[in-house]
Amino acid sequence: MGTRAPCQMDRRALIGGGFALAIGTYPAKAEDIESITFDGLYKSFGVLGFEFADRVRALKSKRVKMTGFMAPPLKAESSFFVLTRQPLAICPFCQSDAEWPVDIVVVFLKAATPAISEGRRVSVTGVLEIGSTIDKETGFVSQIRIVEADVQRF
């Protein structure tokens, strides 16, 4: 840490914090939004495939809230990131021998957002999408997504 230019990091942290604060006051009514968890995503989780939980299927196309960890992103500011159950020690984007965990949720943000990092938990609010999709820009395959999302520190 002592060898890094400290002012650069502080500035980014400040921007990130300020942004999160602004969207944290987004005027969505709490009762409109159902929370989902990594533990509640699947009703069966096997080697040959998963089945999404009935509750999660029922929430398809509805606004949901979910907490997890932001995987190290490709760029400092991005409108796309991967939400993981645990903080990732290894960035699969960055290292060729790293593989994504299977139970990830892909998040598409309303606007490019600075990465929230240092292993912090984040909270994501947005519309739940289910079904296999390949992101045109990155080629990333996902089965479950939260789109039009906002993110803030948990």
40 contacts other proteins (rule: CB under 8 A): no
Q: Does 25 bind other proteins (CB under 8 A)?
A: no
Among 23, 110, 117, 153, binds other proteins (CB under 8 A): 117
Q: For residues 57 and 46, what is the distance between their CA atoms, to the nearest angstrom?
A: 18
Give the integer Cα–Cα distance in Å for 46 and 132. 17
Whole-angstrom distance, CA of residue 130 vs CA of residue 61 = 8
User: Which residue number, 27 or 139, has a Cβ lying nearer to other proteins?
Assistant: 139
> Which helix H or strand E contains 143, and what residues bound it?
strand 141-153
Query: Of the ranges 23-31, 59-67, 96-104, 145-153, which one interacts with other proteins (CB under 8 A)?
Result: 96-104
From candidates 8, 27, 30, 136, binder to other proteins by CB under 8 A = 8
Strand (E) or helix (H) holding 136: none
Phi, psi at 55, each rounded to 5°: -65, -40
Residues that bind other proteins (CB under 8 A): 1-5, 8-9, 12-13, 16, 42, 45-52, 72-73, 75-76, 87-91, 94, 96-97, 99-102, 115, 117-119, 132, 134, 139, 141, 143-144
